[in-house]
Every structure is written in C-alpha cells, then in structure tokens.
Amino acid sequence: MTDIDTPLPRTTWDWLRIFGPGAIMASLTIGTGELIFSTRGGALFGYRILFLFIAISILKWALVVASSHHIVLTGVHPYGRLFQLPGPRGYLAWTLFFLAVVAIPIWVAFHSSVLGNLVAWVTQTRDGLAGGIDYVWGALILLGVLAWTATQGYTALERVQLFVVSAMVLCAGLSLVLLRPDWGALLAGAVLPQRLHYPAWLEEAYPKIAGQPVWVEATRYVGVIGGAAYDYMAYTSFLRDKRWGNAAAGPISPRELEVMAHDSDHPARRWTRAPLVDCSISFLLIIAFTACFVALGALVLGAERQLPDEANFLNHQARFLTRLHPWLLPLYVSGALLTMLGTLYGTLEVACALSSEMALSLHPEWASKQAKQIRRATIAWCSFGAIAILVWLAVHQITGGAGRPRVLLAILTPANLFTGVLGCGLFCLLNLWIDRRFLPRGLRMPIWLRAINGLAAATFVALGVKGYYDAPGGAYAAAALGGALLIGLAAAARYESRSQSTRSSRNR
C-alpha cells in the first residue's frame, strides 16, 4: 500500500491522533514566545497586545499551511523550489542558508542562556562570576543536550513535545482561571486593535527598555510569537517522516499533477487536510498559551512593575503559581525547565532539517547517503557556535563587573528580525510564486489562503524593514543582510560553474 492510499482519519479522535509535527512547532515558540515575551507584552501593554499576537499567529498559520499544501501534493519541499527562481540558480537558497548558519547558533545560545538563567536562580548562584554564571550554566546544559540530540531524531522529539505541550496547557489554563482575570477586557483585547504605549512606571523601573521605540519592542514579539521562518521550513520537512500524501514520494511529474487536478477525490488531495488539522491544533494551542500568559503578565507582573528581562528571563513568572501556594514552585520550575529544554532541542532539529533540505536540493543521492554525517556536522556547528557565543558573553560580563549591562538581546534582535519577521514575508511570497508556477489551476491554494499569504507577505516585509530601521544597530544588520545576498549570489555562480565543468568532463 502506498502512502497516499493509507486511509485518512475519520473520527475526531483519529484526527487528533495525527497531531505530531504541530506539537514540535508549538513547543518551539512556547518556551521563548509565551513564557517570556507574551508575559512581557502583557506586563507592558496589558490585554491590548493580545490582538497583535493573535493576528500574527493567523498570518504565520497561513504561511505554514501553504508550504505544507505544496509538499503534500508535489513531493517537493518549498526550499527546493528556491533553486528554480529566475536569476543565478539557487542564489536565494544559498543566501538563506548562510543567514541560518549565523542566526541559528545565536538562537541556540539564547535558549541555552535562558536555561542557564533559570538554573542559576534555582541554585542561588546568580551573582557568580559577576552575573556571567548564567552563560556558564547555559553552556553546560547545552553540552548535556548534545548527547541526546546526537542519538535521537524526529520520533523522540515528537513524543517529548507532545508531553510537554499537554502539561503546559493544563498548568497555564488552571493558573489563569484561579487568578480570575477580567474576561470582558481580555476578549476586547483579543478582537479590537488598540494603540500600544508604555506604562508610566517603565521609565523609572526599566529605563533601557523605555528608551526603545514601541515598534522595536512590538516587532520583537512578532518575531518570536508563533515561530520563525526556518521553523516552518523544518515543519514541512517533518511531513516526510509522517508520509502524508506525496510528501515522501519525491517530485511528482507535471503530467501526474494534471491528472490529480482533474480528480477531486485523489488521495493526495485529501491528504492536504492532515497538515491543515495539525497546524490548526498547533496554532490554537499557541493562541491559548498567548492569552494565558498575556493575562498572567498583566495581572501579576504588571501590577508589581516587574518584567522578564535579561537578568530574569523566567524567574518572575514563578509568581503565577506561587501566589496560589508556595509549594507550587517546584511545579513551575520543572515545567519551565522541560519547556525550554524542548525548545532548545527543537531548534537543533530545525537546523538539521534545513541543512538536509539544502543538501537534498544540491545532491539528492549524496544527501541520502550522508544523512547522518550532515546531521552530526550541523549539530556540531550550531552547538559549538552557540558555546563560543556563550563564552564570549560570559567574558564580557565578568570583565565588566556585576553592574555591566547585558548584551544578549542586542545580539538576538537582528537575527530575530530576519528569522521571525522579514524571513516569514519572503517565504509567504515564495508560497504564492510556487503555487502559481508549479501547480495546475485545480490544485492551487484556495483563494482565501492566497489572500492571507499575500497580506502576511506585505505585513512581515513592512515590519521587518521598519524594525531594522528603528532598532539600534539596524543599519549594520541591514548591511549584513546585503552582504549575505552578495555571498549567496557568489556561491550560486561558483556552484553553477563547477556543475557545468563536471558535466562537460563527463560528456568528453
């Protein structure tokens, strides 16, 4: 029996049982997006920020549904389609790959430092090494995670994340109900767009944050809520492991696509429902988490004039449970630790999926034979690149003393603006192009999905450009993007030249 001939789920329970890749995607954002930045947004802006979070989640949901639609029907990953864009072959794929080579180690370092910050708080070692102990703990935790990541893969990741997501849903929902928010105001914040402005107490309590434009702060949230562009490309790769439709079958010929377009009951067309359901469950969970932590941030931290910042990424949020009872502190610590470990592990898996897609696009046969080696090299690069960043941050903190401002978010912001904002806009544009270029009319996305992708593309590109314009050091980050594009063009030209030489040698 072929993959597309496998019967689709029939009952509601059967559909829920296919939920798997979406759990990975949800967990990638819950650790950073909800525990940290949704809480921070709620403390700063109250329920007003919720409309932005939900709107962004819907736009990113449309992005990943569209990408999944294409691979389930055609067997071709959207990343592979980058090699068929007009211009030097693969120039944008090379550009995005080089940006990932830099950005993903930064994200791994960030997640590790958040874990290090939590462990330093729990072990009461926060003042060690003038505050640099966070980064030392983070490096040690990352080294511990490496042993697991090097030997496990998609199946183990899915199982861990299903457990973590389920446990966090229960805890967050219970906390919110017991703290009794203003449900009417929460609903209004979710459905009515409102102007964002900093609270009056911010300038005195957090002058560094108050000195940043509101747009910079809000755009940072846009980048982390709902995931990032590379997460969605990895999600699409995970569909091969699930073997939904033609995802694992390899490229489907144009003739076969034409036949499929005239058969409304074709199995591959019916299998497009699977990622639609999986993504919808994932983003509903993300929105639920977002609402919970925005409300908890407003009710608890906003009232106490406390924010998650570089010195206290996860510490203040313990009050969400300890206000109910001090004995609940271990529950929070274990939940936050598991969630962030899942986020860290998932980020490494995203990197492996991206490097695999790049290799498959260039040399499919070689990539299949060298899959393990590619995975090991990717994990080594991301992990030891992150450790180098953590060591540098520790030295920076130690040499400056306990009062030295931390710079982790300053490093993260340019990477976040690309991976979570501008990159999402580029992939939305790619979805629209490949849908029209490679699919016959009967297989193209429904008009509502094309419309949302078009709106998402315009929104993310505009927010990304404005974010780079307003952010401190944004000009340097924009120059780095331009440099990456030039490197991508040079790499594409070099690769094409070598490919032509190889073909010429074989024909002699």
Q: What is the pLDDT of residues 407-443, one digit of tens each?
A: 788 888 888 889 999 999 999 999 999 999 999 999 9
- Domain limits for position 91: 17-497
Which tens digits make up the pLDDT trace of 223-259?
888 888 999 898 899 888 888 889 888 889 999 999 9
Please check whether residue 11 lies inside any domain of the structure. no
- The set of residues, in sequence order, having a beta carbon less than 8 Å from that of 141 and lying 6+ positions away, is 112, 115, 116, 119, 341, 344
Max Cα distance, the chain (Å): 79
At residue 264, does pLDDT exceed 80?
Answer: yes
Kindly state the average pLDDT of the residues 138-155: 75
Please check whether residue 125 lies inside any domain of the structure. yes
Q: What is the identity of the amino acid at 408?
A: L
pLDDT score recorded for residue 2: 44
Please check whether residue 47 lies inside any domain of the structure. yes
| Structural domains in the chain (count) | 1
Q: DSSP for 120-153? A: HHHTT-TTGGGGTHHHHHHHHHHHHHHHHHHH--
Please check whether residue 299 lies inside any domain of the structure. yes
pLDDT > 70 in the chain, percent: 87
* Cβ contact 103:422 at 8 Å: no
Q: Which of 111-125, 137-151, 483-497 has the lowest mean pLDDT?
A: 137-151
Band of residue 167 on the pLDDT scale cut at 50, 70, 90: low
pLDDT score recorded for residue 134: 93
| CATH number where 470 lies | 1.20.1740.10
Which tens digits make up the pLDDT trace of 436-467?
999 999 999 999 999 999 999 999 999 988 88
Band of residue 154 on the pLDDT scale cut at 50, 70, 90: very low
Please check whether residue 100 lies inside any domain of the structure. yes
pLDDT score recorded for residue 24: 66
CA distance 379 to 94: 19
- Cα–Cα nearest to 156, from 5, 419, 345: 345
Q: Report DSSP state, residue 430.
A: H
Please check whether residue 8 lies inside any domain of the structure. no
Between 455 and 164, the higher pLDDT residue: 455
- Cα–Cα nearest to 191, from 306, 50, 399: 50
Band of residue 354 on the pLDDT scale cut at 50, 70, 90: very high
- The set of residues, in sequence order, having a beta carbon less than 8 Å from that of 442 and lying 6+ positions away, is 260, 261, 262, 264
Q: Which of 27-41, 285-299, 431-445 has the lowest mean pLDDT?
A: 27-41
Name beta bridge partners: 328.
Answer: none
CA distance 475 to 481: 10
- The set of residues, in sequence order, having a beta carbon less than 8 Å from that of 351 and lying 6+ positions away, is 100, 104, 108, 230, 378, 379, 381, 382
pTM: 0.90
Q: Which of 20-29, 47-56, 132-141, 224-233 has the lowest mean pLDDT?
A: 20-29
pLDDT score recorded for residue 83: 92
Band of residue 51 on the pLDDT scale cut at 50, 70, 90: very high
Between 7 and 52, the higher pLDDT residue: 52
| Cα 178 versus chain centre, distance | 30
Which tens digits make up the pLDDT trace of 69-109?
999 999 999 999 999 998 888 999 999 999 999 999 999 99
- What is the sign, positive or negative, of the torsion defined by CA atoms of 389, 30, 309, 327? negative
pLDDT score recorded for residue 73: 94
Band of residue 171 on the pLDDT scale cut at 50, 70, 90: confident
Q: Report DSSP state, residue 312.
A: B
At residue 383, does pLDDT exceed 70?
Answer: yes
* Cβ contact 20:162 at 8 Å: yes
Between 232 and 508, the higher pLDDT residue: 232
* Cβ contact 29:225 at 8 Å: yes
pLDDT score recorded for residue 203: 93
pLDDT score recorded for residue 156: 59
In 3-state terms, what secondary structure has residue 456?
helix
Please check whether residue 5 lies inside any domain of the structure. no
* Cβ contact 89:83 at 8 Å: yes
Please check whether residue 198 lies inside any domain of the structure. yes
